[in-house]
Structure 1
Amino acid sequence: MNTAHLTKPGRAALSGLVGDTPLLHVSGPFAPDGRGFWAKLEGFNPGGIKDRPGLYMVERAQIRGDLKSGARIIESTSGTLGLGLALAGMVYGHPVTLVTDPGMESSMTRLLTAYGAQVNVVSEPHPTGGWQQARRDRVIQLMRQYPDSWCPDQYNNPDNTGAYTPLALELATELGHIDVLVCSVGTGGHSAGVSRVLQQLYPALKLVGVDTIGSTIFGQPARPRLMRGLGSSIYPRNVAYDKFSEVHWVAPAEAVWSCRQLAASHYATGGWSVGAVALVAGWLARTMPENTRIAAIFPDGPQRYLGTVYDDDYCAAHGLFDSPPAPEPEVIGRLDEKEVNRWTRCAHVLDPLALSQVVATEDRTAEEEHSGADAEEGR
């Protein structure tokens, strides 16, 4: 075999490692025989699903002239986008600084450093915005230190969503038709990007979002979160709220159960997001009509979670073995109806900022009606 073309891997060779990931049909124990869902295994990319936006955001910034030749890339990350940006730095010739927090696994820090990235760790959460806001504040500080540096701003950058067009087309080519798409939601990038394309191809497609308890994305109060890779303590503008048919919140113990069931039954699994998505996709496969074609996106593999999700001592210490998930989610009628602490579903999705305006209007209306009644009674 002629291997001369492999001796000096260039940009095309590195970026060519991303995409065309496998598709796996998942059934029992998540759904009975004859039912199930199709899982897109994005963990087969070198660094996971965010290799796609890492490469695409950098490429588009170079084309626009926003990112100068050799300039430093600085971004906040809980890990997976960091891998994608480390890859993009190699492909396009940029040094990379990644800002994270103490919750990122030490194995991930070592891996990012091995790939040539500088890792900067914040020590304290922001009083209201949590670790994410603290990381973003540090990014701003670092950009002042490095002239011409550039931040992808994954939370608000529209290229974060545009990067997922190839993933959507892969799914459409492989499955032919899709009725339901199940995605975890963090920055909102892949749920918005994939659904935008698929809903053009299949106008009746339903988008189901999966979040973690303690996340603010869908109108819940911000709380400390054990699960990483999904959820947020800020409101990312890439979240396409108007595209979601429903949202589910999942707790850490439920995600762990799901991850381990996947590993034992299908020799495929991943981290917190994968477990949460599989739990919800399995329920949809059990409860929707038998011929419904469900696609679920598994953002990563299990490697970075060997010390958490797949560590018995860690799981026992955090009470993650207490009980398996309930067979059905709890249901609430409005995103802010109550604070959720277990698997919960809401079929009425609004932008939480718009929801707060609705609540304020309702409060004003009630107050005016009460004042009017008092005035009438005083006559």
Structure 2
Amino acid sequence: MRGNRDLLDLLRDTPLARVSAPLPQPHPGFWAKLECLSAGGMKARAAVSMLTGARRRGELRPGAAVVESTSGTLGVGLAFAGQALGHPVVLVVDRELEPGMRALLQAHGARVEVVDQPHPVGGWQQARLDRVQQVRRDLPEAFWPDQYNNPDNPAGYESLGEEITRQIDHVDVLVCSVGSGGHSAGAIRAIRRRWPQVRLIGVDTVGSTIFGQPARPRIMRGLGSSIHPRNVAYGQFDEVHWIGPREAVQACRTLARQAFITGGWSTGAVALVSAWASRVHSGATVVTVFPDGPHRYLGTIFDDDYCRTRGLLDQPTATRPVEIAHPAVEVAGWTRCRIVSDPLLAVEIPA
């Protein structure tokens, strides 16, 4: 498989857009980095970084396959990186992945392996990771990027943070969704080199274990986790918010109707928190990252039947977060906590 390195020139300079749509209330506005306008999407930055790092260390041989688990977005990035660098890509997905996204991954030349049942403890993520190890046994020379624990993942997003520092005069608050932990860790590293006092707000989904919540079934994809990624830079966060699917759907639809720029679960979640941050931090410059666009969500977030069946429409949603004193308190909707710690290291608090 021959690479096409000219593609790598497409991975930069995505625009910053000013967003002032009411989410759900009026707010002063925030800036959104539109990674959906980058070839391969936001996670192409991480994918290229992980593959070039592995090639440099000799872990990925020329022409060898790349095998990884994905809920969709990283898969597009790896398909991009595989074409650019000359590596076939095998992606392990689960049956919950949208048919359109599965077709897109295959159209870009990836081989797609589908997991049919979630792991009893680790959910779909652990089931996909188990299948990755099975595929690796069949392809012994294949490289597994291990996006959740590979330091080349956040390193790939330093360019995103550097672009933000060139595009805007000042940043007071950066709002990032958290899944593998890559883009929040890499972007804040670059931005704080320029402005050390920038606050970092992490945005997770209810039912995710990343910040100490118990694992629960999750509708939202692209953020959150049923495992504990080691790329999450816990010490860099000033606070964390958990968003429920109803709030994310409302935010995505409001963006579509009143800002034209919209996206999926992560985009809705960070938009809601960014609007809140711009209200409560008077005069602050708030910046966030919209990881992808709306197209893969036309059958979910933007489909009335899908949303009504799951109780995501025609019900009241929160206009501000409930605050909890410790992340061990289980949440069910939009919630904020100003204590952020690694749940694998945290000491349990008394009941």
TM-score band by shorter chain is: over 0.9
Query: How do 1:47-66 residues align onto structure 2 when only pairs under 5 Å count?
Result: 47-66=40-59
Counterpart of 1:120 in structure 2 is 113
The one of 195, 210, 214 aligned to 1:202? 195
Matched AA of 1:301: G
1:23 corresponds to: 16
- Provide the alpha-carbon RMSD of the alignment: 1.5
Q: How many residues align?
A: 349
Are 1:320 and 2:348 matched, yes or no?
no
Show the counterpart of 1:343.
Answer: 334
Looking at structure 2, the residues matched to 212 and 98 of structure 1 have their Cα atoms a distance apart, in angstroms, of 24
Match for residue 101 of structure 2? 108
User: 1:71 matched to which residue of 2?
Assistant: 64
Q: 2-side partners of 1:12 and 1:142: how far apart?
A: 27
The match for 1:308 among 286, 300, 313 is 300
Distance (whole Å) between structure 2 residues aligned to residue 256 and residue 232 of structure 1: 19
| Alignment equivalent of 2:126, drawn from 129, 133, 142 | 133
> For each residue in 1:271-302, what CA deviation from the matched residue of structure 2 results, as whole angstroms up to 9, or x when unmatched?
0000000000001111111x201001110000
Task: Give the SS at the match of 1:352.
Answer: coil
Aligned counterparts of 2:241 and 2:177: Cα–Cα separation in 1: 9
Distance in 2, matches of 1:147 and 1:235, equals 26
Which of the residues 138, 142, 161 maps onto 2:135?
142
Q: Counting helix residues as a fraction of each chain, which structure ranks higher?
A: 1
Note the alpha carbon deviations across 1:74-103, whole angstroms, 9 max, x for none.
000000110011111111111110001111
Name the CA distance, whole Å, in 1 between partners of 2:164 and 2:280: 23
Does the CA contact (< 8 Å) of 2:172 and 2:198 recur in 1?
A: yes
Name the CA shift for 1:108/1:286 in 2 (closer, same or farther; >3 Å). Answer: same
Rounded to whole Å, the distance in 2 between the matches of 1:326 and 1:318 is 17
Unaligned runs of 5+ in 2: none
Matched residue type, 1:273: S
SS at match of 1:226: coil
- Report the structure number with the largest CA radius of gyration: 1
Mapped partners of 2:71, 2:15: distance in 1: 25
1:172 Cα deviation after fit: 0.5
- The answer to whether 1:13 aligns with 2:26 is no
Residue in 2 that maps onto 1:157: 150
When residues 324 and 21 of structure 1 are mapped into structure 2, their CA distance, relative to the original with a 3 A threshold, is: farther
* TM-score, normalization by structure 1: 0.90
Equivalent positions of 1:1-379 (< 5 A) are 11-30=4-23, 32=26, 35-289=28-282, 291-337=283-329, 339-355=330-346, 358-359=347-348
Task: Name stretches of at least 5 consecutive residues in structure 1 with no aligned partner.
Answer: 1-8, 367-379
SS of the equivalent of 2:52 reads helix
Cα distance, 1:10 vs structure 2: 7.0
Matches of 2:276 and 2:285, distance apart in 1: 13
Q: What is the percentage of aligned positions where both structures have the same residue?
A: 56
Residues 139/10 of structure 1: CA separation in 2 closer, same or farther (3 Å cut): closer
Looking at structure 1, the residues matched to 62 and 21 of structure 2 have their Cα atoms a distance apart, in angstroms, of: 51
Q: CA deviation at 1:176?
A: 2.0
Specify whether residues 51 and 324 from structure 1 end up closer, same or farther in structure 2 by C-alpha distance, changes over 3 A only. Answer: farther
